[in-house]
Amino acid sequence: MVLVAAGSETGSQNYMVLVAAGSETGSQNYIRGPLSPGGASAAKYDISELYSPVRMTRLLEKRGLRGGWSFDCHHVYPRSGGNCDLQKNQARGAVEKLLKEEGSEVLTVSPPCTVFSNLQRMNPVGVSAQEWANGCKMLEHAAATCKLQMNLGRGFIFEHPLNATSWQQECLANLMQDKRVYTTEVHMCAYDLKATDEKGEGLVMKPTRVLT
């Protein structure tokens, strides 16, 4: 697993790199560098998660980094004792407020890809108008929050399946065209992603595009 968040293209002090080499074992796998530019206030946390249950925050806390918030619609976050319904403007406002006031050097962003998945081609029922609207709304919010992070002088890591139709949406197309954003493509099997079926366990290729 390799996570890289670049604040800008200029200046050697405007970046943060989190590297997890191999497995979760070992305490020296992570490298931390400054991300917030000199004029920006220091963030309270090293990493937080948007549209994700507690994953990276918990993992990186074990490596001595400062895990922050995990904002997700369906999972209870122990720091707040509740979930965060990101379909609601009130919850989105709370997320923006926390990112501005407390700050996170890096924000991982993983909005649901369900309605944009190629698997929908095999769905005899299809996606309802409401499901599509909800999916687009969350995607637009995710892209806007990535831009917020950049404007705050901090980093983000956005990921979605490479073949998802979400990349054709205007909000992501605009984000990719931002000169501050880097794009890369990875196969998750290289990072030991596995699944199990009736034939046993095996690696899953899952081509993925990452923006940072």
- Tens-digit pLDDT profile for residues 182-194: 999 999 999 899 9
- Tens-digit pLDDT profile for residues 44-96: 999 999 998 888 888 889 999 999 888 887 766 555 566 678 888 888 998 89
Q: What is the pLDDT of residue 72?
A: 85
Q: With 0.85 as the threshold, say if the pTM is over it.
A: no
Identify the residue with better confidence: 74 or 6.
74
Residue 34: pLDDT over 60: no
DSSP β-ladder status, 207-211 and 155-161: antiparallel
Q: Kindly give the residue spans of alpha helices, DSSP state H, lying in 75-181.
A: 89-101, 129-151, 170-177
Running DSSP on this structure, what letter comes out for residue 82? B
DSSP β-ladder status, 67-71 and 207-211: unpaired
